């Protein structure tokens, strides 16, 4: 690139809530946000299908309602479920997008954040390929930092929380091994933006 060339602006990198930096895998499991509501929260999840196995097509198949539940005994508990997230960060750092960020993905379920219920209405859901309680790959954190910066450039993102923080007692991901402090340092956002760090400093 020539020094005087200007790269695409954030608005140019996004088209109707889809980010050019992720591979689009549209999911049918989505819907409109309530009128006037925009994403202000990011909810971090972890997922692996079956648990502890990485790199296969099962996550994509699950979020697009194509998962063959006869493939593995664990999948029987997923039969009939219709869920999604906006993004998945694979173990190798690849980013997949399943739902436009202008739309509501079905990721948080019964949830509440700072007294506000139904987090799906006002959040972006990001799944990290991994097992709750176990470490995530450094390349996943790098991809997550890039994605969070992109999101904040186009949406009024004010907070980042784990699924465990918006659905305590029901969910435990991404788990104790997730490096919240490292994420905060990499982004250089205020501590108050990160739910577990804000709670610890209160």
Domain ranges of the chain: 10-201
State residue 4's pLDDT score: 44
- Known catalytic residues? 127
CA-based nearest residue to 113, from 47, 153, 157: 157
Question: Which pLDDT tens digit goes with each residue over 45-69?
Answer: 999 999 999 999 999 999 999 999 9
First to last CA, the chain: 46
When computed from its CA atoms, the radius of gyration of the chain, rounded to whole angstroms, is 17
Instruction: Count other Cβ atoms within 10 Å, centred on residue 116.
Output: 14
State residue 6's pLDDT score: 53
Q: HSE of 132 in the Cβ direction (CA atoms, 13 Å)? A: 13
Fold classified for 10-201: Lysozyme-like (3.40.80)
* Cα–Cα distance list, 178 to 46, 100, 195 (Å): 10, 26, 13
Question: Which pLDDT tens digit goes with each residue over 93-113?
Answer: 999 999 999 999 999 999 999
State residue 7's pLDDT score: 67
């Amino acid at each position: 690139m020539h020094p005087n060339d200007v790269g695409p602006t954030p608005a140019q990198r996004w088209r109707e809530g889809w980010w050019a930096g992720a591979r689009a895998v549209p999911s049918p499991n989505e819907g409109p946000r309530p009128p006037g509501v925009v994403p202000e929260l990011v909810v971090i999840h972890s997922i692996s299908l079956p648990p502890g196995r990485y790199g296969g097509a099962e996550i994509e198949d699950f979020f697009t309602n194509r998962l063959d539940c006869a493939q593995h005994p664990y999948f029987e508990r997923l039969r009939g479920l219709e869920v999604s997230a906006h993004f998945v960060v694979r173990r190798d750092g690849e980013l997949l997008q399943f739902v436009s960020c202008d739309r509501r993905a079905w990721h948080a379920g019964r949830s509440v954040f700072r007294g506000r219920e139904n987090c799906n209405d006002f959040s972006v859901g990001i799944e990290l390929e991994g097992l709750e309680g176990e470490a995530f790959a450094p390349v996943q954190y790098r991809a997550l930092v890039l994605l969070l910066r992109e999101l904040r450039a186009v949406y009024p993102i004010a907070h980042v929380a784990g699924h465990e923080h918006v659905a305590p007692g029901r969910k435990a991901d991404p788990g104790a091994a997730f490096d919240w402090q490292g994420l905060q340092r990499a982004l250089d956002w205020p501590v108050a933006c990160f739910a577990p760090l804000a709670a610890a400093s209160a």
